[in-house]
Each structure stands twice: as structure tokens, then as C-alpha cells.
Structure 1
């Protein structure tokens, strides 16, 4: 195997970090040279992979996952239009010049054979294209871009069946693209400054990637007519480096163990966590709540049958769990299913409603509103524990997820990168 050089440009998206850094770790273990351009909040985890770390300097840079360091507060948006404005201004188009500037410096210093750019780092993609460096875009979830046959993302919709729902999808897709395309003028100003021609639509920049690497199983996602550069390469089921421990013991007792995990980033989930804890207090179960780095465990009141901790290795906890209560972030959801554990989904936003509908339609879990009362949550947990069909469906889907995660397609796709000639690193 020929050793290659990779440059990752990553943005801390919470649940996107473990699978993206799982890609990095696998490449390092295979003897490749890997540099990661990323937020300060990811520096320790990057170093744990064995890769070289470079911080964002001109681009936004999150210091931590704590609420005071959150860059945009999407849970406060009053309507979808405000959300789109926030995403474009604070995550995609607005900071793109900074990402491009930092990426250009890193490209010239590293001279990679392949760049791997976070979906959020549009400016990094511009810089890679301008320097003639091929780039891939990972999707550490289901496929997010609009394609025929896939319901619009973010709404938790079922696939269209019949003319009415197909018209629904067409109308929603048109509206969503119109909002994203408001970022095209700003993107084209940046592209012009790098000597690149304009694009017609905002996501044209993402489609200029060599490959889109979808880090899940095709059977977990909905079927659709995908572009030729889309690859389903299986989920990365790694625990975050900050949650890894050599020893972990389940809480004492004989009741079913219910794992609770509502995001590693702050999404205003404290009140929801408390209602979940109150629900578990009504049941003969052992509740085990991991708050992650975004929430202080002492902010929550827990009864005797519920233990609240900051972190724990979910891969170990899941081998003892009978049910998982989660916001339905992709990482937590697929790891639960890979362990054959049914899921109660309480989506908070982002891609979570889409993950939740995929779970519930496969019979592997139940979905409730994040505002559900403790009584409704307790009833749903009882349903998961008392009806073995949920666990059977979770095990069936989990077998597929484990198979695809172990197949090696992810590394095979990344290692297809052809070594670049030394004199191709800088364009005049």
C-alpha cells in the first residue's frame, strides 16, 4: 500500500465529530499522513487519532461544546426562514471566506493527495478546487442533499407515495432550495476571488466533490436516485475519544437498563432531560443518563433508580441496555441499533426527525415530541420494553449496520485517491 497525504477540514458539529475523526484514525492506522484543520473544541480528539492538528484562525473556531461557546442558537429560531438566514450567515456562506483562507494556507503547507471537507466548510471546498486538490465530502448521517425520491431533509417526512405526496416533496424542495440559493451571490464573490467561475445553485459547490461519502447504511436511509458520486460506506460506530474509558460497570439492580443520551452539543435539552428522568422515576428500570460535555449533571435532579453522569462509553453501556432514549442524532441512533437496542426518539432539530422516522418506520422504535410529558415518555418506554417486536426489528436493522460498518468500503473509497505530482500544489 502506498502512503498518501490527507487534509481534513472539519467543523465541530457535535455528533458529526466521532465518525469524521473515526475516518482520520483509520487512515493514520494504515500508515497515511493526515492533518486535520478543525475547531479548538476538537483538538484533544484529533491528537488522540495520531493526526496532526491545525486550528481554524480566520474561520470561526469553537472553544468547547458548552452553551457559552455555541456559535448559533438554532433552537431559538421562530420559523424556518429565520433558521435558513442563521445557517447561511453564521455557518455556510458568511464564514466561507475565513474557511477558504485557512484551507489555502493548509493546502500549501501539507500538499495533500486528497482533501476531506466537512459539509459545513463550503469555503474549504472552494480553496481545494482553486488549488486543484480533489476533495470528498462526508455525510455522517443520512444523505442531506435533495435528490429524486428522497423526502426533503429536516422535516421527518415519510417517502412520497402517490401524486399528492410527490407534489408535497416538489413544493417543499423548491421552497428549501430557494432559501439556500440566497447564499449564491456571496458564494460566487468568494469563488471569483479564487479565480473560479460562478455556480448557479448553492449546493453546486458541494457537488463538485470527487465523492460524497455517506456514513450510514443504504438500508437505514430511504431509497432514492442518487448521483453517481454518492457512496454509502457504512456507519462509523466509534465512541468519542472523550467518552472512552477502560473500565465501566452497569448500575446496580435488576431492572431493565435504559440509556438516555440527548446530544453532545447544547440544544437547550436540559428541560427535556429532566422530564425523561421524571418519567423513568415512575418505572421499575435502571435509568442511566449521559449528559455529554454540554450539560452539567448537577443541573438535573434524579431519583434513586436513575444515575446521571457526564460521560460514559456508549459501546459498553449498550451491551447491557434494553432501551435507549435519545434526540435521534445519527451517531447515537445507529450505535443503539447496531447493538440491537430499540429507540425512543425525541427529536430536537437538525437531521434528528429524519433519523427518527427511519427508525419508527422500520419498527425499531417510537417517536415522541421533545416536549412530551413524563407520563407519555414513561408509557413509550413501557411499550419498548414490553413488546419484543421492537427489539427484533432493532436487531434486524442492527445486523445490517454492523455488516456495512465492518465491510471496509469507507477506507477503500478514501484510498482510491491518486497521489498528486509535487508541482501541482499551487496554481499561479
Structure 2
């Protein structure tokens, strides 16, 4: 920690992309608690939860700024792509590359209005780091999951793959790299707008930052001990989302059936049908099932079984204290929180970072993964295996202990203080 008399000004940036918000606001809250002056810059719909951290809020103006989290206002529609690469191309076009200049202009304007000692950026809205480069503003990148993009010098992570797995993934990786190359051309137009030279790889924009902090457990990530000078693990940043409704069990107190929490994305990923298949698969088990829908799916779009309750939201941490199993899409926030509670998981990934998270859960023995097209019978068989084999819970407990330790021992505030004020490092 810095001398308590030293107060620094931080500008924490994020965007309404589901799991991208929570880690940024957790870090903002920690910085406020440490006595610093913190602003959060994000979509307008994030104002209430941002201000609850004690930070001041600034909305995006030129860059996209969602007024709500409803399905119709979704900016990212990668689920509509015919292939993962096509879906990713939409994200590049409408966010990372195509709107980079707008994010940069917003950051530059805000820094002119009120300077900051350090800007905390994101690995997906590269316009923040671009704006910092233009303004010669010190910045750091906070990644809220594993390194997903081909950044030069990024540390090796993830479970080892067999030759067969590598061969199977090669065509998709080739298509992804072609998508990144096309997006880099668009991103370089934004750089040219500010009279900056082009990059061979747009993801290397993050290297203008002093450091990239990885908000994920090194143990969970299968992360290398040596991450180089630019990357550092700071553990998961997991405050409970403060927009969720309070939790009170809808079942009688004497109902001792195991509780299964079903929680998929807070953003829309065309996951209504898979949610219904999960509900149908769980219908025959002697369990209680709580399904948290999030803001993009209405209860009327699903048919609950007799053992199922549908709620718009609930604090997952409170629910997980009572749960036996989690069924999830595999977003890092849900996965990490389940591990903090030492719960095994069935992960049904829908893209983004979720496939990698699912592979890590399975490789650690803490759960199983299925494709999003899995039929009801396949889902039921996986659930039967997870509930019946205690090895999954045991492995989740071992991994969860390591994840909890890394979260508790996180030095993210000290790291940011040192980067904001190197002479006090």
C-alpha cells in the first residue's frame, strides 16, 4: 500500500459486455476502499452499480453506451454468426476495431476534462489503450479472464492438448487469424486518424500499457510461473453483482433435496433452447432447480418443471452456499464463483471465453462439458454422473481452495498503486 496521505486518481474503463463489468467494478471498489479517487467510465446502464462502489461515473458518449441490458440493445450478436469466426468478426466490426476511434476520443476528452494518474483499460475495447497512447497517458489493462487473443509475448496457459485436438482446432484457428487480420486493417484506420503508425497485429495495442493484469486464478488457468514482464496474475476479482435481487429460497425449509443452480449468460447468446433442455433434463432428478434468467430472457419463454423455479436474478454467492451443483454457460465470473464455493459444474459453453473455461474445468476434474447442441438425454446423463460420482466434488474442492487463496491474496490494489506512482512501489 502507498503512504495513506498519497491519493491517486484512477479512471477505470469497461463496457456492458456481461462478465466484463464485474471485475472492473470490483477493482474500482477496492481502490475506493484504499482511499483513492476513482471514476468508472462505462455504458449508462452501469451507472447505478458503479456509483455503489463509491466511484464517480462517466458514461461513454461517442462510443456505444447502452441504456439498459435488454436483448434488443445488445451490441454483441456473435451468436448469430454461422461460424465462431464470423461471430467474432461482428464483435470486431461493431466494437473492438470499428469503434476504436470513438472509445479513444471519449477517453481523450475525459482526461482533458479531468486528468488521471492511471487509466485501467480492457483487452477488448482497444480504443481505450489507443486513446491513452495518443494522450501519452499511463495505463494498465485488466483482463477479466484468460488471454484469448494473440498478443505478442502472452504467457502460455490452458490445459495441454493432444495432437488430435490441435489438428481438430487448426481450421478454426486459421479462420480466426484471418478475421483478426481483417479487423487489424480496420483498427489501423483508427490509428491513422490519430497519425499513429499501423500495427501488424491490433492486439499488440495493449502493449502500450504499463502492464496487463490477468484477473483469473493462475492455478485454474494452468498458467506459467514465468509470465514475462508485461503480464501478471492478480487472481479473480469477484464482488457480488449489486444489481441482482435479494435471495430467499422459494422452497419450504424442510425440503432437503439437493439444490442445483442453473445460471447462463447475463447477455443474450441465443440460449433459450439449451436452458429448456437443461430444465427438462433435471426434471426427473430428486433435486430443487433454481434458474437465474438474467435481463435478456423472460420467464414466459421457458416451461419450468415441477422441481424448478425461474427468477430474473439472484446473488449467486448466496445461492451457491446452499447448492450442490452448478450448470452454466461457462462465463469466468460464474465458473470462478462456483469454484470459490467448491462446487462441481456442468459447463455448456456458447463461445467467447467459455470454451476455454469449460476445458479447464474438465481438465481439473471439477466438472464436465457438453456442446450447446447437446440433447436432453445427454445433459441428464452428465448430471447423473456429476451427482453420483464424489470425485467431481472432491476435485472442485481442491481447485476451489487454490482459487479462493488467490482471490484472498490478490495484490491488485498494490500493483495499481505502484503503476500509478512508481516511486512508491
1:144 Cα shift? 1.6
1:29-40 correspondence runs (5 A): 29-40=33-44
- Cα offset for 1:250? 6.4
Alpha-carbon distance in 2 for matches of 1:167, 1:343: 27
How many Å separate the matches in 2 of 1:227 and 1:168?
30
Q: How much has 1:158 moved relative to structure 2?
A: 5.0
1:82 aligns to what? 86
Q: For 1:11-37, what per-residue CA distance to the aligned partner results, in whole angstroms no more than 9, with x for missing partners?
A: 111012111111111111111111111
Distance (whole Å) between structure 2 residues aligned to residue 348 and residue 171 of structure 1: 19
Displacement after TM superposition at 1:177 (Å): 3.2
Q: Report the CA distance between 1:244 and its aligned residue.
A: 5.7
Aligned to 1:394: 396
SS of residue paired to 1:243: coil
Taking the TM superposition and a 5 Å limit, the aligned residue runs for 1:130-169 are 130-146=134-150, 150=156, 158-161=159-162
Taking a change above 3 Å as real, the CA distance of residues 343 and 34 of structure 1, as seen in their structure-2 partners, is same
Aligned-pair distance for 1:210? 1.1
Instruction: Please give the per-residue CA displacement for 1:209-255, whole angstroms capped at 9, x wherever unaligned.
Output: 2111111111111345644211111112221111263x633633211
Structure 1 residue matching 2:420: 3-state secondary structure: coil
- For residue 307 of structure 1, give the secondary structure of its aligned residue in structure 2: strand
Tell me, yes or no, if structure 1 residue 177 matches structure 2 residue 177.
yes
Cα gap change, 1:106/1:214 in structure 2, threshold over 3 Å: closer, same or farther? Answer: same
TM-score by length of 2: 0.91
Taking the aligned partners of 1:21 and 1:47, their CA distance within structure 2 comes to 9
Q: Deviations over 1:345-378 (max 9, x none)?
A: 0111111111001000110001112222222222
User: Which runs of 5 or more structure 1 residues have no equivalent in the other structure?
Assistant: 152-156, 422-428
Measured on the aligned residues, the alpha-carbon RMSD in Å equals: 2.3
Q: Secondary structure at the match of 1:400?
A: helix
2:270 corresponds to: 268
Tell whether the 8 Å contact from 1:9 to 1:121 is kept in structure 2 after alignment: no
Structure 1 residue 81 displacement after superposition: 4.1
Partner residue, 1:154: none
TM-score when normalising by structure 1:
0.91
SS in 2 for 1:369: coil
Cα deviation, residue 48, structure 1: 1.1
Q: What is the CA distance between 1:170 and its match in structure 2? A: 7.7
Question: What is residue 345 of structure 2 aligned with on the other side?
Answer: 343
Deviation (angstroms), 1:98: 1.0
Q: Which shows bigger deviation, 10-19 or 410-419?
A: 410-419
Paired residues for 1:172-251 under 5 Å: 176-224=176-224, 226-243=227-244, 245=246, 248-249=248-249, 251=251
Name the structure 1 match of 2:372: 370
Alpha-carbon distance in 2 for matches of 1:341, 1:26:
26
